[in-house]
Amino acid sequence: MKKIIVAIDGYSSCGKSTVAKTLARQAGYTYVDTGAMYRAVALWAMENNAMEPEKIIPRLQEIHISFIQTEEGQHTCLNGRDVEREIRRLEVGNAASQISQIKEVRAYLVALQQAMGREKGIVMDGRDIGTVVFPEAELKLFLTASPEVRAQRRFDELIEKGETPDFAAVLADVNERDYRDTHRAESPLRQAEDAKVVDNSHLTREKQMEVIYDLFKEAIDR
């Protein structure tokens, strides 16, 4: 059967990675979490005191990122070390947000991501996949949900972790991240012209996957 590239972009906390992982499993494709790649570079920069552009740019070739399959699912490795847990920390996310603004860091990771897609059969999620990494992807999805719905989902996750979040603060954070993602100078988040928009504010997970799997089938039959 024909293999394609599926590019998934969208705002933070709109369920991109769950959709990407589920679709990759259903299709028998490889899943690539590009946010994890920015996070791994950020962790390396934090550990090597190299958060500034002039410190990290000359050393990018020292940073090797790979993915391994574990019993818990896919894990990210930094220079051969499993860093899956560390890269999910809040401060690593904030550092990733900073280093993802550096043009050379983006160019380094985009080249890696393009190499990963050479054989097709890949589902990749991020912010610039359909616009910069694979503008020729056969299927581009742009996921969205209202800020209130995304804030509620994040609020529920925090409650589940035993925290005591303030809803207004969570909503303000969602709006701030949206602003940063869409207004940065380098590869801001935007919808590719030929992307299919899926607003999942009022869709169950199952219904959303049905809609997306239909779009996938349409794309491989095209």
Interacting residues toward ligand DC by CB under 6 A = 12, 34-35, 38-39, 93, 96-97, 100, 126-128
What are the residues whose beta carbons fall under 8 Å from the beta carbon of 211, sequence distance 6 or more?
A: 198, 203
Nearer to ligand DC, 96 or 198 (CB): 96
Nearer to ligand DC, 126 or 219 (CB): 126
> What would the 3-class secondary structure string for 199-211 be?
ECCCCCHHHHHHH
Least CB distance to ligand DC at residue 123 (A): 13
DSSP string, 73-128: EEEEEETTEE-HHHHTSHHHHHHHHHHTT-HHHHHHHHHHHHHHTTT--EEEEESS
Least CB distance to ligand DC at residue 128 (A): 5
What are the residues whose beta carbons fall under 8 Å from the beta carbon of 204, sequence distance 6 or more?
A: none
Nearer to ligand DC, 39 or 140 (CB): 39
Nearer to ligand DC, 57 or 220 (CB): 57
Least CB distance to ligand DC at residue 35 (A): 2
Q: Look at the block and give the residue holding tokens 């209202």.
A: 146
Least CB distance to ligand DC at residue 100 (A): 3
Least CB distance to ligand DC at residue 172 (A): 17
Nearer to ligand DC, 4 or 14 (CB): 14
Closest listed residue to residue 64, CA positions, set 83, 41, 98: 41
Least CB distance to ligand DC at residue 31 (A): 13
CA dist., res. 110 & res. 43, Å (int): 18
Nearer to ligand DC, 42 or 219 (CB): 42
> Burial of 213 by CB count in 10 Å (0-12 exposed, 13-18 middle, 19+ buried)?
middle
